[in-house]
Amino acid sequence: MSRAITPHRRHIGLDPAPVGNRNRWSVFADAVTVVLALLWLFPLVMAVAMAFRPQRDPISVGSIFYGSELTLANFERAWNTAPWEWHFITSVLVVVGVLTVQLITITLAGYAFARMVFPGRNVLLFVILLQLMIPTGVLIVQNVQIMRDIGAFNTQWALMMPYWGSAFGVLLMRQTFREIPRDLEEAARIDGANVLQVIRHVYVPLSIPTYTAFSLVTISARWNELLWPLVVTRNPEEARPLTVGLNQLYSATEAGAQWGSLMSGTLMVIVPLVVLFIIFQRRFIESFASSGIR
């Protein structure tokens, strides 16, 4: 795979171009990259700085890096607002529970749309495409009703079920599978592989970068979701995800902006994702570059 992505590497700033070949465009591109990186970094830096400043200091006292002192008091306050350790377990369960099922459904559906011929295929694909265009917000009332009807309301199943199918994932896998040469499948068939074995041993291994990219998108979307968990789970508070706990800090506006506890709460919630990204950084970048997801 690594050969396939080499042409992209310079654009995303992984390898500096050989000095002799540098033209003004590559210098310009590097400059833009640096500026964009700083822009993206800015909120994170601010969050870290504010999380460790004493609550009584507004951001405007001194500069953000001096004229103040360091403190952990904000983390203590933020920690005391919610049962975070349980929220964390719930969030991890939900992400894993959604992703595991999604990977199975999008693989099977993606294969069906990419390689199988059956009546109504295009209509079905069109319907799935349509679903991409409906904002999830408008479905909330109906979805809550369904969860109540099937008895899943106020369980962690309700947090996961609506996401077990993924229109985006199905289309993504369809495109990926279509690019895999049919010859490979036919060779496997001749060796006696059935459909599932073909998918397992031919299509899946060749699509790992796409899976990685899709997983990252799903993980961060589910990790950051607030509205659905807030509406569909009720109690105990322990069975709700991190965003619900964080929401308490975000709605504490009565006494003015409590930047300190707000930002320390935010850091506690995003750290697992940031660590995950740093560990798998290289693989993620390669996946996004080769799968075309941005």
Chain positions 35 to 94 lying near other proteins, rule: CB under 8 A, are 54-61, 77, 80-83, 89, 92-93
Instruction: Select the span of 181-189, 199-207, 236-244, 285-293 touching other proteins (CB under 8 A).
Output: 236-244
Q: DSSP for 166-179?
A: -HHHHHHHHHHHHT
**One of 239, 242, 268, 269 touching other proteins (CB under 8 A):** 239
Report the alpha-carbon distance of residue 232 to residue 244 in Å, rounded: 11
How many C-alpha atoms does 214 have within 13 Å on its Cβ side?
A: 27
Q: With H, G, I as helix, E, B as strand and everything else as coil, classify residue 9.
A: helix
Residue 141 beta carbon to other proteins: minimum distance, rounded to whole angstroms: 5
Residue 142 beta carbon to other proteins: minimum distance, rounded to whole angstroms: 10
Residue 189 beta carbon to other proteins: minimum distance, rounded to whole angstroms: 25
209 lies in the binding site for other proteins (CB under 8 A): no
Instruction: Select the span of 108-116, 141-149, 203-211, 283-291 touching other proteins (CB under 8 A).
Output: 141-149
Closest CA to 172 of 121, 225, 211: 211
Closest CA to 158 of 82, 98, 68, 221: 98
Q: Show the tokens assigned to 176.
A: 């990926």
Which x/- pattern over 92-121 shows residues binding other proteins (rule: CB under 8 A)?
xx--xx--x---------------------
Report the alpha-carbon distance of residue 118 to residue 61 in Å, rounded: 67
Extract long-range pairs of 40-49: CB within 8 Å, 24+ residues apart.
46/263, 47/263, 47/266, 47/267, 48/263, 48/267
Looking at the Cβ atoms of 91 and 289, the one nearer to other proteins is 91
**One of 102, 166, 176, 261 touching other proteins (CB under 8 A):** 261
Residue 198 beta carbon to other proteins: minimum distance, rounded to whole angstroms: 20
H helical segments located in 180-258: 182-190, 195-198, 204-206, 208-223, 227-232, 242-250
The footprint of other proteins on this chain (CB under 8 A) covers a number of residues equal to 50
User: Cβ distance 109 to 170 under 8 Å?
Assistant: yes
183 lies in the binding site for other proteins (CB under 8 A): no
Which spans of this chain sit near other proteins (rule: CB under 8 A)?
Answer: 54-61, 77, 80-83, 89, 92-93, 96-97, 100, 140-141, 144-145, 148, 154-157, 230-231, 234-237, 239, 244, 247-259, 261
